[in-house]
Structure 1
């Protein structure tokens, strides 16, 4: 495993190229356990009822956000707590 510290134990910038940096191979997550899909997750025209149904559905109503699983109507999460997120 590569250390991200210099000799003085200061953190190294991961966005600045250095002459001693060696490119590392990209590590992709395993995809063998993902369900078969007709189109990619990010297909722009995903509005097909038969292909690539949504895995989760979220609905914002009033002060609440509800996330549900279409295949199991009893599996829902509803929250009225909102947290600010920096862009």
Structure 2
């Protein structure tokens, strides 16, 4: 399975501990090809969307926080329009269900 961990940070100088920790825990596991992408909330959503879709993942995992949840929601809707077969997993403090 091709897994893509995604963080939308508030600034370029920030890095997501969450996706780096998950990547380290899963890296090297048999049957799982895992990679990471970090963006900022100030980047154009079309650019992010094209980049994500171009990776051809089976699963995209988003790290969700108060500063990125609305952007993540829009990206998820648009990813599903481009390729409904991509599975989406949301995690982080903004996810309550």
Q: Report the TM-score when normalising by structure 1.
A: 0.21
Between Structure 1 and Structure 2, the one with more helix by share is 2
Q: Which fold has the larger relative contact order, with Cα–Cα distance below 8 Å and residues 6 or more apart in sequence?
A: 2
Larger Rg: 1
Structure 1 or 2: more strand by fraction: 2
